[in-house]
Amino acid sequence: MMGCILILIILSVLNMLSASFYTIYTRGIGIFTNYLIYMFLAFFALIFTGSINYKHYNKNGFNLFLLIITVALFSFILIGAKMFPGIVPRINGAIGWIRLFGFSLQPAELLKLPFIILIAHILERCERDGAKNLSIVFSVMPIMVLFGFFIMFQDDLGTMIHYIAILLFMLFMSRIDTKWIVSVITAGVVGMTGICLYVHHLGDVSGKGYKMRRIGSFLNGILNNEYDNAIGYQVGQSLLAFGSGGILGKGYANGVQKYSYLPEIRTDFILASYGEELGFIGMFIIMIFFFLIFNLIKRTAMECKSYFGKYLAIGIGGYLITQVLINIYVALGMLPVFGIPMPIFSYGGTSLITIFSAFGIIRNINSEE
């Protein structure tokens, strides 16, 4: 697994250097230096979590600690948005960031790993007690409701969807029957529809209408191949980048979208830069490495003798592959813009540190089992 991760790191650094070229030229090398610092810290996090026996995460005291940290961070976000808007700003309609000393922290992204640990802890207990179906659903719902409550108040629909995807991935591995999972999915779809209608009803109050306009722009793009200049601009430019890249791409550093045509080219739409310069072949190569990592994580889950280790591994696998697929689908205009970063590739310290910490846990499960 480490070989695949190292190859993706090299590709990511090269891609970020190219995508940041214009920014480096106009504003200095600071933004690329920060990215290298994030990558170094993330790799250190991998080594650190890889040295801790994963079974420690299954202790009741540790899980209580995670719950306290979760409530504290989310509460600070909600209160800080009202009292300290300079520290907790609203970005693209969402209030999911904490800014201090020139750095940003995204708690909802950072807490994906604690969420997986908490759910794995509950599912391990259900497995040990022989619980099935409704008992399992009721066991995990308090955690989902807790996280969902705070995330929806942050107006971060994309992160909420990713949490649900991770939960469903883990439920598929549990003792719950498929029909119950279908029921959970149906309830989730109905719930999300209700939330969308609620957001639409509120209109532009507190920026909530922005998300409905994103969904409307997505539907207009799918049905009419038209992208609104304001809301759908980034998706339109992303598709232009992929289309101009073709099969083989324009060549490394020869892309043009980085010249301020695509504003989020270093973050959520980083693959547009990659696809423009290295084409379909380049995209296919990185997808192979991501699926190799996912397959190795899945094998770790299947071979793990500990129920907790099994659920922890499959949760991390679900976290990785769903985030990869959501990001790609958004970049290709197949999903509304959710603001989900591309693992390893997107600029952002919180995302890098979280996913690399998860990789470290997988390494430890392999070494312990």
Q: What is the pLDDT of residues 50-71, one digit of tens each?
A: 999 999 999 999 999 999 999 9
DSSP 217-252: HHHHHHHHS---TTTSHHHHHHHHHHHHHTTT-S-T
Instruction: Give dist(CA 177, CA 169) in Å, integer.
Output: 13
Residue range 340-357, pLDDT digits in tens: 899 999 998 899 999 999
What are the respective helix, strand and coil percentages of the chain, to the nearest 5?
A: 75, 0, 25
pLDDT at res. 100: 80
What pLDDT, on a 0 to 100 scale, did the predictor assign at position 176? 75
**Chain segment 130-145, per-residue pLDDT in tens:** 777 677 778 888 898 8
- pLDDT tens digits along 25-50: 888 888 899 999 999 999 999 999 99
Summary mean pLDDT of the chain: 85
241 vs 96 pLDDT, higher one: 241
The yes-or-no verdict on residue 210 having pLDDT over 70 is no
> 6 pLDDT exceeds 70?
yes
Above 60 in pLDDT, residue 203?
no
For residue 208, pLDDT beyond 60: no
Q: What is the pLDDT of residues 283-338, one digit of tens each?
A: 999 999 999 999 999 999 999 999 999 999 999 999 999 999 999 999 988 888 88
- What integer pLDDT is reported at residue 205 of this predicted model? 42
Residue 254 near residue 277, CB atoms below 8 Å: yes
Q: Is the pLDDT of residue 19 over 60?
A: yes
Q: Using CA atoms, how far apart are residues 96 and 44, in angstroms rounded to an integer? A: 25
Q: Do 277 and 18 meet the contact criterion of CB atoms below 8 Å apart?
A: yes
pTM attached to this predicted model: 0.89
Q: Which domain holds residue 210?
A: 2-368
Cβ density class 47-73: b for 16+ within 10 Å, e for less: eebbeeebeebbeeeebeebeeebeeb
Domain count, the chain: 1
Q: Could you report the per-residue pLDDT of 235-273, keeping only the tens digit for each?
A: 888 888 999 999 999 999 898 888 878 877 888 899 999
pLDDT at 198: 56
| DSSP secondary structure of 108-166 | HHHTHHHHHHHHHHHHHHHHHHT--THHHHHHHHHHHHHHHHHHHHTT-HHHHHHHHHH
Please give the Cα distance from 323 to 13 (Å, whole number).
Answer: 19
